[in-house]
Structure 1
Amino acid sequence: MDPSLFPRRAEAMALEALSDTRVVVVNGARQVGKSTLASLIAAQADNARQLYLDDPAILAAAEEDPVAFVQHDGLLMIDEIQRTPQLLLPIKHEVDRHPRAGRFLLIGSARLLGLRDLPDALPGRTETIELWPLSQGEIDSAPDGFVDHVFTHGADVAMNPSPLRKPDYVDRALRGGYPEAVRRDPGRRRNRFFDSYITDLVTRDVRQISDIERPAEMRRLLSVIGARMGGLAVVQSIAGDVGLPRVTLSRYLDLLELIFVIKRIPAWSSNLTTRAISTPKLIVTDSGLGGRLIGMSTERARDVTAPIGPLLENFAIGEVARQLTWANESVQLFHYRDRDQIEVDMVLEHASGEVIGLEVKAAETVRGDDFRGLRHLADRLGARFRAGFVLYTGEQSLSFGERLRALPMSSLWTLGTTTQS
């Protein structure tokens, strides 16, 4: 199957939003399948019209007469909306004059609220859906329901032994989720995709929304970020590695997050202790891109000194972050670390206050010490601590005491409504 045609969780979300919302925005990085998704959605609507602003003639028409451009009786899908933010005020006037649901589907490559000179045009009239690179569940047609499942069942989850082992997880992490990268053979052809992607990021995407004086600095920063993925985003330290002033480095990080290259996971404390640190954790949104940035390959991964742990941690956090965009439960993602070096890779906090802790281990075996951070949270949170899991590259689901369990990393995409529990 063509990876660009894999069913996306965002499709159902967008259709649901269009049923009661005037303007639906689909945002995401380049090459994640936004245009394909928009076309599929528009094909299911009556009297839909599709306009692509990467067509010079269509772009010229939008710039010449934006008021006439947005007039349409049915659903109007506009791709690459960030190219013409002057369309947003006419869209506001249209949806205010005719306030029915499903008027506009807007597709963008950068978060609209981050565009320069964007008017405060559409408050209260829109719903935004983030489209990430493909999840493992979307690629495998698996449930992708881990977050909802563990908040429902706590540590009382069960799954069949996983057929995957550490090399399989490394291969998945290096493949990433960009449809074009998934389609290509591993090795030289996939690497060419990632290299071109990095070039386009620096020469096109970033420069569309900001004046970058020296693109080489952004390339160097991307390499440093790759080497630090899964670690703390200590601005002063990164600035020193790249050779940039701290203010400039902060601006570059903001830009990379704006165009969905990185994501900063905020620190969590919930007033547990004054010793908790507040520095966010840094991930590359696509682990395949992250792997290419550090020159990782299947062959290099066989070396015992290869940094597989950070790669797989980045991979697992990315899968959870994707799920939070479609999970039924209202959950936020954090990480935890204190000055005593006690840490938990992921802290999922439910709107009710309940917490799930997740640790990621690249090993195929689990030890009791791997639960140190999770036990720390359990002791201090009491009843608020729903469960703690160590996600590892072995095959079995194993209990390690009350509310603590080791699970194969594949549980992130295989647990859900169609999985035994």
Structure 2
Amino acid sequence: MRSAMDYVPRRATALVTEALADTRVVVINGARQVGKSTLAELVLRQGPNGVARFLDDPVTRAAAIEDPVRFVRHDGLMLIDEVQRVPDLWLAIKHLVDRDPRPGRFLLTGSARLLALRSLPDTLPGRSETVELWPLSQGEMDGAPDGFVDAAFALGADVRGEPSTLRRKDYLTRMARGGYPEAVRRESPRRRQRFYESYIADLLSRDVKQVADIEKAGDMRRLIALLAAQASGLLNVSRLASELSITAPTVRGYVDILETIYLVRLIPAWSSNLTTRAVATPKVIFTDSGLADYLTSGTTSDASLGGLMENFVLSELSRQLTWSDTPARLYHYRDRDQYEVDGVLENNSGQIIGIEVKAAETVRVDDFRGLKLMQRRLGPRFRAGFVLYCGTESLSFGEGMACLPISALWTTAAPDK
């Protein structure tokens, strides 16, 4: 049987250890059940004189509330788990690290986007570094390199994935499994569904309440289901408000909450002065494809299945961006002439990688329609365009264009520096 440590993201372990070497406070932030506490304890055990404080424990939390200044005094590294439960600890930590600027003083974890919480009395600018922890990537589960982003910018359309043995049904299985460590452990689909049932219940009863008071939890639950049904779709606040019979500002506020607790991620629209007809609306993806698949179980059409597969790919790319050597950001593109590109990666030099996702085992020339538009308009800035699909072969489709198996996302190694 695999232990809990088998489900710790190794790349995140390295990122946290590196950050502690020159930063006073390191925050591990991410969704519930992604392994933040396990990761933090692993890092803590790597050094001497570490101490852990878990604020889920009522006695520990009471002590922190009663005397936050004495609570944080310690000569070595202190791990404080679920730090958002006692907001006054932030001022005590700030006071301490301002007077003793040695690196590696505090390792903090939380289940919400901590610096967005209104309850926190102060942030730690210049004193802290945040490491975002996502659910496990496919490469972390398979022991694969997960280097597609770096390879795409370095090699352009010359990237070639290994011939894949995976077919469409295999990708659907991986998509439904998701990346929450506890869900991955449960090999039975029925047991995995039980996990997702309790996950949503805990999210609404605990995490949402840490961020904001909402009047009707039922509206939030229905909104989550509607967003899952249109995974990777544009955020249409007016339509959602109409379907839920609530106001548009309320919907917008609820979506902000869901992003704060890491349930969904908004992918901003990409545009430049060369593409003035671009639509500015963001796209919504779920941070975990397994949860999105669970929420749509029994109602999945071919169209929504394509959205779920796109969600699967975009969330894998989002994970890679947290550790890739190439600083890049993820966008999407759509214009009023119905040209679209599912994923747009832009690095700091303004180079563009375009990505289309197809939940099919074949690729057509027309699948490159949006990518070729971007290539024509951007010229040398357009590094490459890829169609990621459920087939097995990597093939060239003209200058700067290629199709790759979706598995190339995690089986491709980053080029040697």
C-alpha distance in 2 between matches for 1:363 and 1:308: 11
Instruction: Verify: 1:172 aligned to 2:169, yes or no.
Output: no
1:243 positional shift: 1.9
C-alpha distance in 1 between matches for 2:285 and 2:126: 31
- Residue matched to 1:162: 164
SS at match of 2:28: strand
1:203 positional shift: 1.4
Equivalent residue runs for 1:197-208 within 5 Å: 197-208=199-210
- After superposition, the C-alpha distances for 1:238-271 in whole angstroms (9 at most, x for unaligned) are 2112221001101100000000000000000022
- Residue matched to 1:294: 296
Instruction: Verify: 1:392 aligned to 2:389, yes or no.
Output: yes
Checking the alignment, whether the CA contact within 8 Å between 2:345 and 2:354 is kept in structure 1 is yes
Equivalent residue runs for 1:363-378 within 5 Å: 363-378=360-375
Matched to 2:72, the amino acid is: V
- After superposition, the C-alpha distances for 1:34-67 in whole angstroms (9 at most, x for unaligned) are 0000000000011100110001110011000000
Checking the alignment, whether the CA contact within 8 Å between 1:3 and 1:180 is kept in structure 2 is no
Alignment counterpart, residue 133 of structure 1, candidates 132, 135, 152: 135
- Residue matched to 1:314: 311
1:105 positional shift: 0.3
- Residue matched to 1:402: 399
- After superposition, the C-alpha distances for 1:184-243 in whole angstroms (9 at most, x for unaligned) are 023211101001111111111101221111111111111101111110011111211222
- Residue matched to 1:323: 320
C-alpha distance in 2 between matches for 1:118 and 1:141: 38
Instruction: Verify: 1:357 aligned to 2:358, yes or no.
Output: no
Equivalent residue runs for 1:177-192 within 5 Å: 177-192=179-194
Equivalent residue runs for 1:206-225 within 5 Å: 206-225=208-227
1:3 positional shift: 5.7
Checking the alignment, whether the CA contact within 8 Å between 1:283 and 1:318 is kept in structure 2 is yes
Matched to 1:218, the amino acid is: M
- Residue matched to 2:6: 5
SS at match of 1:292: helix
- Residue matched to 1:102: 104
- Residue matched to 2:260: 258
Instruction: Verify: 1:334 aligned to 2:331, yes or no.
Output: yes
- Residue matched to 1:237: 239
Checking the alignment, whether the CA contact within 8 Å between 1:5 and 1:36 is kept in structure 2 is no
C-alpha distance in 2 between matches for 1:30 and 1:131: 10
- Residue matched to 2:24: 22
1:7 positional shift: 4.2
Residues 4, 251 of structure 1: CA spacing in aligned structure 2 closer, same or farther, 3 A cutoff? farther
Alignment counterpart, residue 284 of structure 2, candidates 282, 285, 288: 282
C-alpha distance in 1 between matches for 2:382 and 2:4: 38
Matched to 2:355, the amino acid is: L
1:394 positional shift: 0.1
Checking the alignment, whether the CA contact within 8 Å between 1:4 and 1:180 is kept in structure 2 is no
- Residue matched to 1:55: 57
Checking the alignment, whether the CA contact within 8 Å between 2:162 and 2:412 is kept in structure 1 is no
- After superposition, the C-alpha distances for 1:269-298 in whole angstroms (9 at most, x for unaligned) are 0222221010000101100000011115xx
Equivalent residue runs for 1:72-111 within 5 Å: 72-111=74-113
C-alpha distance in 2 between matches for 1:369 and 1:54: 53
Matched to 1:2, the amino acid is: S
SS at match of 2:266: strand
- Residue matched to 2:413: 416
Residues 319, 383 of structure 1: CA spacing in aligned structure 2 closer, same or farther, 3 A cutoff? same
C-alpha distance in 2 between matches for 1:226 and 1:332: 23
SS at match of 1:249: helix
User: How many residue pairs were aligned?
Assistant: 414
Matched to 1:217, the amino acid is: D
Q: CA RMSD in A?
A: 1.4
Residues 418, 401 of structure 1: CA spacing in aligned structure 2 closer, same or farther, 3 A cutoff? closer
Checking the alignment, whether the CA contact within 8 Å between 2:29 and 2:111 is kept in structure 1 is yes
C-alpha distance in 1 between matches for 2:332 and 2:123: 34
Checking the alignment, whether the CA contact within 8 Å between 1:4 and 1:179 is kept in structure 2 is no
1:80 positional shift: 0.3
C-alpha distance in 2 between matches for 1:212 and 1:102: 37
C-alpha distance in 1 between matches for 2:162 and 2:113: 40
C-alpha distance in 2 between matches for 1:40 and 1:27: 16
Matched to 1:178, the amino acid is: Y
Checking the alignment, whether the CA contact within 8 Å between 2:30 and 2:112 is kept in structure 1 is yes
1:4 positional shift: 5.2
SS at match of 2:157: coil
Alignment counterpart, residue 249 of structure 2, candidates 234, 247, 250: 247
Residues 3, 52 of structure 1: CA spacing in aligned structure 2 closer, same or farther, 3 A cutoff? closer
What's the TM-score once normalised by structure 1's chain length? 0.96
Greater displacement, 16-25 / 183-192: 183-192
C-alpha distance in 2 between matches for 1:262 and 1:121: 23
Matched to 2:360, the amino acid is: A
Checking the alignment, whether the CA contact within 8 Å between 1:66 and 1:87 is kept in structure 2 is yes
Residues 235, 395 of structure 1: CA spacing in aligned structure 2 closer, same or farther, 3 A cutoff? same
Checking the alignment, whether the CA contact within 8 Å between 1:2 and 1:183 is kept in structure 2 is no
Residues 373, 40 of structure 1: CA spacing in aligned structure 2 closer, same or farther, 3 A cutoff? same
SS at match of 1:267: coil
Checking the alignment, whether the CA contact within 8 Å between 1:145 and 1:414 is kept in structure 2 is yes
Residues 158, 184 of structure 1: CA spacing in aligned structure 2 closer, same or farther, 3 A cutoff? same
C-alpha distance in 2 between matches for 1:2 and 1:308: 33
What's the TM-score once normalised by structure 2's chain length? 0.97
Checking the alignment, whether the CA contact within 8 Å between 2:231 and 2:292 is kept in structure 1 is yes
Checking the alignment, whether the CA contact within 8 Å between 2:64 and 2:89 is kept in structure 1 is yes
Checking the alignment, whether the CA contact within 8 Å between 2:167 and 2:391 is kept in structure 1 is yes
